[in-house]
Structure 1
Amino acid sequence: MRTLGTFEVCALRGHEPSRNGNLLARSVYRDSGSDECLRLTVELLGNCLNTHGSCCANYPVLSQLPTRVIDTAGANPRLIDSGGRKDKFAALSYCWGGDGNFKLTRATEQSFRDGRPLSEFPATLRDAITISKALDIRFIWIDALCIIQDCDQDWAHEASRMREVYRGAVVTIAAACASKASEGIFREREQSDQPRCWLDWIDGAPSTSKVFLRPGSELWDERMHQSVLNTRGWVLQETLLAPRTLWFGHQQLCFECPRGSIDEGGRFLRVTEMYRSKEYMQTLRMRILPTWKRRLLPLLRHLNLPTTSMFLWPSLTDIIKARDWETIRHRAIPARPLTLQGVFRHPGDPAMLSHFDYWVHIIGNYSSRNLTKPTDVLPALSGIASEFHRATGDTYVAGLWKMDIIRGLGWTRGGLRRKAAGGWTEPEPTLPEHYLGPSWSWMSILGKRVDFMITDHFDHVDPLAKVINIEIQPATNDPFGALKAASITLQAPVLTLESENITTAPPTSRYPKLMARLYSIFKYQGPSEFGQKHQGYPGQRFILLYLLKTRDALRDRVNKVGDE
């Protein structure tokens, strides 16, 4: 059978059938700034606030206001100090896009406190204020106007509180259709000029309603998901921490909360990656590890015992066939021994994942995004890190976690490339101008997506290395923010290489496959820190550190990471 096309059966908003209308998609409004569309945002937010008990229980409507907010009550929006009062407020997630002149500085502070005409605001900020008013939310937080941009001390203080801002906002307005502040949020939607195919909706009601067919591809707003906004590093945190988000795309708007997502076209959506959902962040807030378990886990880790809360005991057949305890242990525990506290089950996926499994997935997504300032790499992630710390009680270590540090050291990062003469591309330097973090952490260099080699490649991993000491010196008072210095001391087996040049693979090498692999990494995967900083000298030697022992359950074999 060949599929030539798909269609959605839709009803006009306000003219839905009296029976089984929930089965139908909905028409979208031609203008996202119209009164009708703004009334829809009120309806979507109100439905969550009035019917989603778990959302309201975990995210109260009234929260402590940020240090400064924009008061939209008067004709001219003005900047005010909150004084710690509680009220409902909205937050804005958007792209500056180079339009950075309209901002709070020491010189402009008084004019913002006096109030500025709404017409002076850049279009994106002006539209956000309009949306906030339509939602009957008096106060709105906009980073450019609520943080003193030319005061490093104020920026550092407010950046450390940004997690409370997005977590406390009753709704976050996401300008997914704007690549800069001057473009605005509201759009006239592109709609097909072709006449609609109208059908009778026969449902047994006294009167027959009319419905129409819409091509299934007409409203797939790929531009919203692939927008510049969704490539920003800060936005991942803004999205996950916010209890509710109103996404304004080119073709439609979408409302997202921990109960799921619904778009203007009437479709109920669910993210396929659990770590990207508000549902997971809500679960993280609810499942806080008890104190006794927090104390037990480091001991289990030290003894190399499984720390997952769900595992299968070996069968009698397994015990009879097993030759040693090691075999029994690996056959008994289908989950990874490095899986730590609190496992979750993804809807539709029986696999169990721990907090740390989710963390490495978050880092993979986050590291593929862009940051205007590389030094924001930890501040832009600090809110999510604080939630993980709150749930696990674990120590945050330069973008990794102390109880999962050995696995966390097994990372790779894709290199950046730039266009060169003749249309070719060449590697870009990966070392930042300023210190970001220790060389053993993924966040110490610039690049593309970070992958952790253990996450998806092996069923079981056991640590060979032992942590002797970890020292972290934060650059500010925020333990999840930027770093001043960091170090780690490990005890582990090592392999000494006889080659004086690690980037070549001499025929006489005792480890030709290993040397060839190292050569490939340094030559073809972009310039490494080693390649940019190391200065060779006669008689130099290199050692490889064994971090983990891995077992591939399908082949029932044992390998050491780095061993060939």
Structure 2
Amino acid sequence: MPLCATCDSVDIFNLLLICLSQCRDKQEALRVSDGETYDNRLKNYEGSEVKHHGDIFEIEKSSKVCDLCKIIFQAFKRTNVQDVEVARGLQMMFRTSYSKIEVCYNTDAKEGLIKLCGLDVYMDEANVEELFRVGQIKEDNSPPILKIMEKDPASDRSLDIASRWLKNCVESHSSCRPPTEFQKPPRRLIHVGNKTQNLFLVETFPNLQHVEWLSLSYCWGGEPSMKLTNGTMNALKNGIPLESFDKTIKDAVFVTRGLGISYIWIDALCTPQGDNRWIEEASKMNEIYGGSTVTLVIASSDSIKNGFLKKRELKYIPVAYSTDKVEDHRAKLFLSSEWDDSEREYNGAWSKRGWTMQEGLLPNRLLHYTDSQIIWKCCEEQRFERGITERVADIVSETLTYSDVSDIAFGSSLDYPLMSHSDTFRLWYDLVEDYTPRRFENISDRLAAISGLAKVYGGMIRNPTYAAGLWKEDLIRGLLWHVEGTTLIPKHPASNTSTFPNFPSWSWASVGYEVVKNDLKTSNSLRALSEIENTHIDLDDQRYPYGAVRSGSVTITGPLRRLPRLYNKKWASAEASMSKLEHYISEIVEKESQGSVAHKYSSPPGGHFSVLVMVGDIHLLHLLVLEATGGIVKGVNEYRRGGILKLLYVDPSSYTSPEVIAKLEKMEASSTALLGLHEKTNKTRMTSNAVFMEVNEGNWAKETVIIV
């Protein structure tokens, strides 16, 4: 649709020039570290406001014939205004604000202009670069002009953008180069050839150097049409036409060729399927992905059948402008809705698959294909096809990203002694928290699919002992994980079916697809009150200590108290004969069971439960709750891990202290204790203190137990 007369009369190009000036001044102010200078310079642009339609109702009427009005009215509907009449008569305005064009209401009141929505401005890449040059500004993470994207991600222009990103990184970023020890190629690679050649499998040799390969990270989403097996090995070596492969493989080969890379590593075609030989390759993921020239991430597709080079739905509204009023030279710029930050995330199947986590964290260069654009990530920067560049050092993220482990993956080591600092294992617990909700077709792969990261991490912290997803040197703290939302009652334990026979109960791998947290990951003030005597891990293959396990046990000694049950239904009765601790645990079990307490908590099949004090200080205790299996090994009772208890003692005189209240609220929010908050009664607080004192002063005898 053409623009309405009102939209066509807005001098978008003049607003854009003002945005360029604001962006230049902002960059100059940042360069001299003088934010106040930029704020003062903004005053030079006061009055850069243009009247639009009389109110939103005029825009609604015009939206039937004008694309720009349609965008603005859709933004208004998303605000969910309860009484639309409040907008009647409010003049609509265009303005520039911090290098962006915004659509606003003019309230003619103290509030002044109120933003309704933002508009992004796009131009052809050559025009963007020319205006940036004339305006003396650099591309950054908030440019006033974005680069119009191709509808076809398989176009020459789109591939040229990706190629330039790769070339720039290879030539300019020394920190992104794979370490020498990772530059040996994998045992098998696929040679992609050219348009007239078939794909064929190449078996490399350990001493072969200077081979560049692209590694592929994608979702199978079903069985591939072609896999490497004993039956297909010779055919793949002899060469198979590209048309014989699934769409995602064909698209990946197309991109690999476009980047000028001769080899691609694809798990289904380079790792033997259907036998245990894949275990060897799984143990080398850090080398395969970390040593590749670039990793191609298929972020937008959930199946190998679908492909990813699909035409995009681009909604650009063309706006004519004149750069030379004398000759009336008419060119084009484009407007669209302000970019949604969610477009920079990867919320599809790829980001939820277990195997892809280390595939996204181990490489030093990644090229993502999403539904909307291609995105480059390396150790130094992140680039978006739409024309935004961000330095990795400036990116603030609440979730774990590959940049958090890039230094680990490429040879860095911690500069403080092992075990002397609480941060030694902090990043590992962050990795586990991010990893545990990810899905598998076969969850028994859970430890194997993180083995590459474990191997790298172990090397970083000077080769400690890996133990089924935890580390022996930090096992006292490591055992005190809990599932988000519960501390005692597991939601969906993986070990309760024959599908998950190999995970020890003390490993976070033993629970279902729940977020696993460790509240002690940043703590270094608590004293260990128990001691790890021994760990025993029965590996699936002894050659791969970071891989899958068959079983495992931990022998530990510490202050222990046996309990006949975890739950007594009479816990709320004043006449019930039970300790404060038993009362407290029963209350938690009932709450976390949500009204349906399992029979075993009242009458365990092995005869009893036990509570083991793990760490503590004068204000805080962390306990491990264990369930007896009934087994005895050389006179030592055998248990399964149940959950944890966290007991806090608060001086009654400090109940109103903001610091104490904040600490209590944090504990309540993380579901690690049922302690009284400021709005609850002093009686509840005194009860929690009484439980702490009972345990702290109990002088429990130390006992050795085995946890399986």
- Give the alignment partner of residue 445 of structure 1, picking from 491, 497, 511: 511
1:185 corresponds to 2:308: yes
Quote the Cα distance in structure 1 between the aligned partners of 2:458 and 2:411: 13
The residue aligned with 1:364 is 433
Cα–Cα, structure 1 residues 395 and 79, in superposed 2: closer, same or farther, change >3 Å? Answer: same
- Give the alignment partner of residue 336 of structure 2, picking from 188, 209, 214: 214
1:69 corresponds to 2:134: no
The residue aligned with 1:483 is 549
1:272 corresponds to 2:397: yes
- Give the alignment partner of residue 467 of structure 2, picking from 383, 392, 397: 397
Quote the Cα distance in structure 2 between the aligned partners of 1:209 and 1:21: 23
Cα–Cα, structure 1 residues 160 and 48, in superposed 2: closer, same or farther, change >3 Å? Answer: same
**Aligned partners of 2:283 and 2:451 also within 8 Å:** yes
- Give the alignment partner of residue 473 of structure 1, picking from 538, 544, 550: 538
1:134 corresponds to 2:258: yes
Cα–Cα, structure 1 residues 220 and 521, in superposed 2: closer, same or farther, change >3 Å? Answer: closer
Alignment of structure 1 residues 178-327 onto 2, 5 Å: 178-192=301-315, 195-197=317-319, 211-217=333-339, 220-221=342-343, 225-269=346-390, 270=395, 272-273=397-398, 275-283=400-408, 285-289=410-414, 294=417, 297=418, 307-308=420-421
The residue aligned with 1:162 is 285
**AA in 2 matched with 1:463:** A
**AA in 1 matched with 2:534:** N
Q: 3-state SS of the aligned residue for 1:485?
A: strand
Per the TM alignment, residue 182 of structure 1 is displaced from its structure 2 partner at its CA by: 1.1
The residue aligned with 2:164 is 43
Q: 3-state SS of the aligned residue for 1:547?
A: strand
**Aligned partners of 1:219 and 1:251 also within 8 Å:** no
**AA in 1 matched with 2:305:** S
1:79 corresponds to 2:198: no
Q: Deviations over 1:25-84 (max 9, x none)?
A: 22211111111101111011111111112112x546982111111011251001110122
**AA in 1 matched with 2:559:** P
The residue aligned with 1:124 is 248
Q: Deviations over 1:468-499 (max 9, x none)?
A: 222223211111001123211112112333x4
Q: For structure 1, which segment, 96-105 or 383-392, has the greater mean C-alpha deviation from structure 2 after superposition?
A: 96-105
**Aligned partners of 1:219 and 1:252 also within 8 Å:** no
Cα–Cα, structure 1 residues 66 and 525, in superposed 2: closer, same or farther, change >3 Å? Answer: farther
Cα–Cα, structure 1 residues 526 and 201, in superposed 2: closer, same or farther, change >3 Å? Answer: farther
- Give the alignment partner of residue 15 of structure 1, picking from 102, 120, 127: 127
Bigger relative contact order (CA 8 A; separation at least 6): 1
Quote the Cα distance in structure 1 between the aligned partners of 2:596 and 2:483: 9
Q: 3-state SS of the aligned residue for 1:6?
A: strand
The residue aligned with 2:295 is 172
**AA in 2 matched with 1:69:** L
Cα–Cα, structure 1 residues 109 and 196, in superposed 2: closer, same or farther, change >3 Å? Answer: same
**Aligned partners of 1:505 and 1:519 also within 8 Å:** no
Report how many residues are paired.
484
Quote the Cα distance in structure 1 between the aligned partners of 2:528 and 2:381: 38
- Give the alignment partner of residue 516 of structure 1, picking from 573, 581, 587: 587
**Aligned partners of 1:52 and 1:259 also within 8 Å:** yes
Quote the Cα distance in structure 1 between the aligned partners of 2:596 and 2:249: 41
Cα–Cα, structure 1 residues 454 and 110, in superposed 2: closer, same or farther, change >3 Å? Answer: same
Per the TM alignment, residue 241 of structure 1 is displaced from its structure 2 partner at its CA by: 0.3
- Give the alignment partner of residue 547 of structure 1, picking from 599, 605, 614: 614
Per the TM alignment, residue 115 of structure 1 is displaced from its structure 2 partner at its CA by: 0.7
Per the TM alignment, residue 211 of structure 1 is displaced from its structure 2 partner at its CA by: 4.9
Considering only aligned residues, what root-mean-square deviation do their CA atoms show, in Å?
3.3
Q: 3-state SS of the aligned residue for 1:221?
A: helix
Q: 3-state SS of the aligned residue for 1:116?
A: coil
Q: 3-state SS of the aligned residue for 2:494?
A: coil
Q: For structure 1, which segment, 447-456 or 246-255, has the greater mean C-alpha deviation from structure 2 after superposition?
A: 447-456
Identity of aligned residues (%): 25
Quote the Cα distance in structure 2 between the aligned partners of 1:83 and 1:55: 25
The residue aligned with 1:304 is none
Q: Deviations over 1:113-162 (max 9, x none)?
A: 1111111111100110111111111010001111111222x111111122
**AA in 1 matched with 2:585:** L
Quote the Cα distance in structure 1 between the aligned partners of 2:181 and 2:544: 26
Quote the Cα distance in structure 2 between the aligned partners of 1:13 and 1:525: 62
1:147 corresponds to 2:212: no
5+ long unaligned stretches in structure 2 = 1-110, 621-649, 651-658, 674-690, 693-708
Cα–Cα, structure 1 residues 130 and 525, in superposed 2: closer, same or farther, change >3 Å? Answer: farther
Q: For structure 1, which segment, 375-384 or 9-18, has the greater mean C-alpha deviation from structure 2 after superposition?
A: 9-18
Per the TM alignment, residue 271 of structure 1 is displaced from its structure 2 partner at its CA by: 5.3
Q: 3-state SS of the aligned residue for 2:355?
A: helix
**Aligned partners of 1:69 and 1:82 also within 8 Å:** yes
**AA in 1 matched with 2:248:** T
Q: For structure 1, which segment, 280-289 or 466-475, has the greater mean C-alpha deviation from structure 2 after superposition?
A: 280-289
Quote the Cα distance in structure 1 between the aligned partners of 2:569 and 2:471: 34
TM-score (norm 2): 0.63
Q: For structure 1, which segment, 458-467 or 62-71, has the greater mean C-alpha deviation from structure 2 after superposition?
A: 458-467
Q: Deviations over 1:171-205 (max 9, x none)?
A: 0111111111111120211111x623456799xxx
**Aligned partners of 1:106 and 1:150 also within 8 Å:** no
TM-score (norm 1): 0.78
The residue aligned with 1:334 is none
Q: Deviations over 1:406-430 (max 9, x none)?
A: 11111122599xxxxxxxxx97663
Q: For structure 1, which segment, 467-476 or 82-91, has the greater mean C-alpha deviation from structure 2 after superposition?
A: 467-476
**AA in 1 matched with 2:478:** G
Cα–Cα, structure 1 residues 277 and 526, in superposed 2: closer, same or farther, change >3 Å? Answer: farther
Per the TM alignment, residue 544 of structure 1 is displaced from its structure 2 partner at its CA by: 0.8
Per the TM alignment, residue 99 of structure 1 is displaced from its structure 2 partner at its CA by: 3.4
**AA in 1 matched with 2:452:** G
Quote the Cα distance in structure 2 between the aligned partners of 1:510 and 1:113: 71
Q: Deviations over 1:201-239 (max 9, x none)?
A: 99xxxx9997544321368526x6111111101111000
Per the TM alignment, residue 247 of structure 1 is displaced from its structure 2 partner at its CA by: 0.5
Per the TM alignment, residue 357 of structure 1 is displaced from its structure 2 partner at its CA by: 1.3
**AA in 1 matched with 2:296:** I
Q: Deviations over 1:519-552 (max 9, x none)?
A: 3335569989x779x9537xx3332111121657
Quote the Cα distance in structure 2 between the aligned partners of 1:61 and 1:219: 38
**Aligned partners of 2:493 and 2:511 also within 8 Å:** no
Per the TM alignment, residue 378 of structure 1 is displaced from its structure 2 partner at its CA by: 0.8
1:379 corresponds to 2:448: yes
**Which entry has the higher C-alpha Rg, 1 or 2?**
2
